[in-house]
Every structure is written in C-alpha cells, then in structure tokens.
Amino acid sequence: MGSSIKEDPKSTFAWFFEAAYPTSLQDAPPILRQFPKDFSDEELMQTVPKFCFPFDLERAGHSLAAQHFTFVLTDLAGSRRFGFCRLGTSARSCLCILSDLPWFEVFYKLLNSLGDLLAQDQVSEAEELLSTLYLHPVPGPEAPLGLSLDPQESKLRITSHPSSLPPAPGTNQLLSCFIAPDSGRLPSIPENRNLTELVVAVASENIVGLYSSLLSERRVLLTASKLSTLTACVHASCGLLYPMHWEHILIPTLPPHLLDYCCAPMPYLIGVHTSLIERVRDKALEDVVILNVDTNTLESPFQDVDTLPPDVVSLLRLRLRKEALAAGEGVSRLFLRAQAVLFGGYRDALIYSHGQPMKFSEEAFLAQKPGPLQAFRQNAIHLQLFKQFIDERLEKLNSGEGFSDPFEQEITSNGLASGSHRSYQLWADNLKKGGGALLHSVKAKTQPAVRNMYRSAKIGLKGVQNRLRYKDSDLLLKRGGSLRVPALDNRSERLQHRLPITHHFGQSRPLRPRRSQSHFEDEAPQREEQREPLSGPKEPWGLEDLDSNFLGSGELDLLGEILDNLSIGMSGPGESPTLHPSHSLDSCHLGRGSCFNLVSPLLKSPAHTHWTTHFN
C-alpha cells in the first residue's frame, strides 16, 4: 500500500533463476537455470543471487529447508523491487523470482508449483509455466487467474475463472491458480501471511514498541532463526505505518557481505538471521533498537512509546491482544485508527488561496491539539515519512486528481477533522474515564439546547431518586419521572422503542419482548445471582462506541435514557446506594433493587469520503 511500489510494470515478474549455495561466503552463488534465458543484466546477475543465502549454513545447520522469504532492492528513485525465494532441500539451492509487485502469497504459491515440477524433472513444463505467465498482461486487482495444462496440445493455458473442483479425466490439468491482490485494501488475518506471522510470533507489547520506534525513524534490527518469520515481521511492521511508508534503508534479510550496513548512521529497518547476529553485535552498534523474535524481547535505548499520546498507547495495548486473536482486518484498522488520531488533523492545516496551489501549514497543524498530541506532532513534522506523506497528498490535490483511501475514510468516520461532532478530546476522555465520561461529555461538549436538556434531566432524576426511596416497592416507574401502579403487562409504548443512551442514536430500535409476571418471578432469583457491581465498563470506550449523530440527534430524551442505564439499589440503613447491571426494564420490582438492561453496541458501517480539489 506504499507509493514506493513501481506503477504499471510491464510483466508479472522480471526474472526467475535457481542458484546453488556458494562454496564460501565471499563467492557469488552460481546460477543453475534462469528465465528468460536471454536475461543479461550483469549487475543484477552479480548482486541478486547473494541475497538468496542470507545466513551462515555452518551455524544454521539444516533447519532452513523449504522456507519462503523475501528481499528488497531499492533504486535511486526510491522504487522497490521484490525478490521472492524458496530454499530447497538442505538449503543447498534456492528458487527466486524478481518482481515489481509485492504479491507475497501469489509468488510463494508459484514457487511451490515450480519446485514440484523441477523436483519431478519436468523442466519443460516449468519453463512453459513461466513463459505463459511472463507474456500474459499483468492481472488487475482481485482478478482470478489459473494456469492449466492442455493434455491434447501439451500447452499451458491461462483461464480467468479457474475452477476449484478436481479436473475430469482428459481435461486440462490445473497447475496453479491465484487471485491478484488489491493494494488498496487493508491486510487481513489470515489472508495476509506477513501480518499473521507478526501477531503470532511477537507479543503485543513489543509490536507497540516496534511501531513507536519506526514512527521515530530509529535504526531497527529484527532477528529470528526462521527466515520466513523474519521477513514477514519486517514487511508487516512497515505496513503498520500506513498510509505512510518506510522511507529509509529496508533490507528484510541481510546477506553476510552487507553486515556493515548495520553500522550505517541513518535510519534503517534490517532483518538479520540468528546465525549472523553475533557478528553484527561485535560491530560498533550505537542507538540501535533490536527485536529478537525467537525470545520475544525488545532492546531499545530510547523511550519511544512514551512519546506517543497516552490515549493512543492505551488503545493499542488494550485492543491489540483481542484483535490479534480474531480473523479479519481488526489489527490493521487498529493501527489505522492510531495513525488517523496522530496525523488526521493534517486536513485542517491545508491552506488554499484563490489562484494558488494548496499548501500545508505546520503552525496550523501544531496549534490544533494542545497537550501530549501537540508534543508528539512537534517531533513528527520533522520525520521523513510525514514530509513524504504531505507531499504526496498535496501533489494529488493540486493536480485535481483527488483521493479516497481507508485513511481518509477513517478520519471522516471517527470525526478526526474539523466540522465533525466528535473530536480527539472527546475520544480521549471516553477512553480514559469509561462510560461515566459520556454524561460528562454531553454536559460539556453538546449544543446549548442539549445542555439545557441535560440540566432538566439531572434535576428530574434527583426527584425520581428521592421518591423511589420512600415509595412502596410495588410501584412501577414510567417515563417522565411519574409513578403509577399499573399492571405489569401495561408498559409504556415509548419503552418499547428505546435502547440505552450509548447505543441507539440514529438507529432503529428493536421491540422489547413481552413477558408475563409469573415468568418474571420465576427468573428473578436467577437474575439476582447473576448481578455484578457496576464499577464501570470492562473496556475503555473506543471511537466506535460513539455514534456520529450523537450530538445532533433530534430524538434525545435524556431523562429516559439515564433511567435506562442507571439502577438505584435499595440499601439498608447506613449503606450507600449501589449500581447494578440490569437485566430487564419490562418488569422491575423496585423493592428488591431495580435492574436495567445494557444492550451490546450496534454495528456501524464506516463513513466514506473522497477528497478532490479543482482550481479555476
């Protein structure tokens, strides 16, 4: 998802070759076979094969067999080319595909198909497979592609709709099939191999520490004994920075002849196999962050996590453990939200004068949020990744191209730019204080009409509380604070269509199920045993818990909503009232302490936005 990827490549891959392990670490690995056969880039042929064996075989032993890993080549323009490798038996040979496309899963699967054909001495079939894919136009995003062998003509054919069923006798034999990745989508678990390996291999606390070090543009080393895990963690950690990308040295696997790169004075992100890490540590390393994936330890001379706003750190630490265990885009969206909170205010710092190109004002960007976020941004404006991000956004806006991506959608859906009802401070307050901050935010942040409604509701609630303490326990509460003695099945129509305050604004309300009095009495003892003291929400409030129509809703009946969420326990003499989570509002006996239902939050679809600018 980074802009350093070359656009519109001519072919799916540029070069395939098989290299043998060199006789010594100083020698270049010999090339056993290649495609195209007339490939003649001498510089690549001399340098690239050395990246295929980034370890010391004598120290690593034979545990490296049948592994996939990648390396990256960066040209002077900043464009990156990816090398996808598959080690053979006993790590004595390596298959490699060089491509401008970061299609990890696709090329790993293709390498397996080629490895199987070559292992069966089907060299001509492997060459036919490579030739067919090389000459075929580059598939578009999410385009399915199948490579099948026609037994009658002995030729490979490409189909755009490969079947997942086994081929019938006499029909085409499917050799390989894949779906071209969409670079505009967020990585998901388990579809994205790199992200999956990162959350499995590295503890959540260390992922947050690694993320903060990359945001500070440190010199970062990762080490692991498994090359596939090592390179996956390097690539996945870069993805956490989206929509920004790592602008400095990136070497997912460092070959032995380039170990001196670890002493470079500029920021870098480098992966080193454990068989070489001792040689690296013997060098004069200063101010280097080292993550050992095998031992799950992070060594850092800096306190980069402390430079992040405390609310962002709390969000990542509390949610990452849960999201890492679930399939989908949860982990990617969690870090996307952190990036939106940290940098989403750039929109409000864009300045446009008629007839002039749009510009970015650092002063306006820093003046938005006083406190920890402002302190973080004072350092962030000097980062190369942030400067490059701003330049790319300005270039698109000034050209009239416009853009719409998950980052912009996250800013809009969570109100992280001016003109929205919710702000960073509202989100931070709710994250720190939990559900109690919601009422405080209503009082402090809403429009004047809503604040007046809050005051009236608060006065009415106090009156209801006083009356509840002295009324007979058979009395039932109706909306508006009035007390009556109706039958249990005569409920207010307004109660039928109401959910608690934190959940239903701008959404339809489901009907509450009707229950008979006898059914309620049968369940009452069981409910009393299940009640727990309500000391606050179990988890801090996230942005998704606050609806975008929260402050602008015209249906706000705050007194009724407060009564839906609060319960005043009838305590004995000398005891203070307690709050309990509720189970039903339909039939509540106030003599034993009322109980009110808390409903799970409803799911919401994120808002979408498209930014574009046109100049006359």
* Same domain membership, residue 283 and residue 255: yes
* Same domain membership, residue 111 and residue 60: yes
User: Within a domain: residue 166?
Assistant: no
* Same domain membership, residue 328 and residue 225: yes
* Same domain membership, residue 347 and residue 215: no
**Which has the closest alpha carbon to 16: 125, 109, 93, 114?**
114
* Same domain membership, residue 332 and residue 208: yes
User: Within a domain: residue 293?
Assistant: yes
Who's near 145: CB < 8 A, 6+ residues apart?
Answer: 136, 139, 158, 159, 160, 162, 177, 178, 179, 180
Distance CA(465)–CA(316), nearest Å, equals 39
- The sign one gets for the Cα dihedral 390, 395, 400, 401 is negative
Domain count within the chain = 3
Query: According to the model, what pLDDT value does residue 480 have?
Result: 38
Distance CA(41)–CA(594), nearest Å, equals 80
Query: According to the model, what pLDDT value does residue 353 have?
Result: 84
* Same domain membership, residue 85 and residue 200: no
Which whole-number Å values give the CA distances from 543 to 334, 554, 606, in the listed order? 11, 21, 11
* Same domain membership, residue 80 and residue 20: yes
* Same domain membership, residue 333 and residue 354: no
Q: Which residues of the chain carry a pLDDT beneath 70?
A: 1-3, 25, 61-65, 149-156, 160-175, 417-616
Residue 140 φ then ψ, to 5°: -80, 175
**Do residues 560 and 460 make contact, with C-beta atoms less than 8 angstroms apart?**
no
Written as six digits, the tokens of 607 are 């808002």
User: Within a domain: residue 522?
Assistant: no
Distance CA(146)–CA(474), nearest Å, equals 72
- The sign one gets for the Cα dihedral 528, 530, 536, 537 is negative
* Same domain membership, residue 408 and residue 308: no
Check whether the bond before 166 is cis (ω within 30° of 0). no
423 Rama class: left (phi>0) / alpha (psi -120 to 50) / beta: beta
What number of residues does the chain have?
A: 616
Which whole-number Å values give the CA distances from 530 to 518, 523, 533, in the listed order? 19, 11, 10
User: Within a domain: residue 173?
Assistant: no
Which of helix, strand or coil describes residue 189?
strand
Written as six digits, the tokens of 371 are 């406190």
* Same domain membership, residue 328 and residue 200: yes
Which whole-number Å values give the CA distances from 34 to 31, 126, 135, in the listed order? 7, 11, 16
> Which pTM value belongs to this model?
0.67
> Which residues constitute the domain of residue 67?
15-136
User: Within a domain: residue 376?
Assistant: yes
User: Within a domain: residue 590?
Assistant: no
Neighbour tally for 400: CB within 10 Å:
10
User: Within a domain: residue 534?
Assistant: no
Q: Report the Cα 119 to chain-centroid distance in Å.
A: 39
**Do residues 344 and 369 make contact, with C-beta atoms less than 8 angstroms apart?**
no
Neighbour tally for 608: CB within 10 Å:
11
Distance CA(499)–CA(565), nearest Å, equals 9
* Same domain membership, residue 418 and residue 323: no
Q: What CATH number does residue 39 fall under?
A: 3.30.450.200
User: Within a domain: residue 591?
Assistant: no
| Cα angle: 577, vertex 581, 582; to 5 degrees | 105
Exposure string (b/e) for 306-341, b if CB count within 10 Å is 16 or more? ebbbebbbebbeebbeebbeeeebbbbbbbbbbbbb
Distance CA(208)–CA(202), nearest Å, equals 10
Distance CA(84)–CA(231), nearest Å, equals 10
**Do residues 367 and 298 make contact, with C-beta atoms less than 8 angstroms apart?**
no
Residue 358 φ then ψ, to 5°: -70, 145
Last residue of a domain, one of 397, 426, 455: 426
Last residue of a domain, one of 287, 309, 338: 338
Which amino acid, 281? R
Residue whose pair of structure tokens reads 């579809």 in the numeric block: 191
Distance CA(500)–CA(241), nearest Å, equals 37
Distance CA(14)–CA(442), nearest Å, equals 59
Query: According to the model, what pLDDT value does residue 155 have?
Result: 66
Last residue of a domain, one of 426, 451, 483: 426
Q: pLDDT per residue over 405-431, tens digit each?
A: 999 999 988 887 664 333 334 333 443
Q: What CATH number does residue 314 fall under?
A: 3.40.50.11500
**Do residues 421 and 505 make contact, with C-beta atoms less than 8 angstroms apart?**
no
* Same domain membership, residue 304 and residue 243: yes
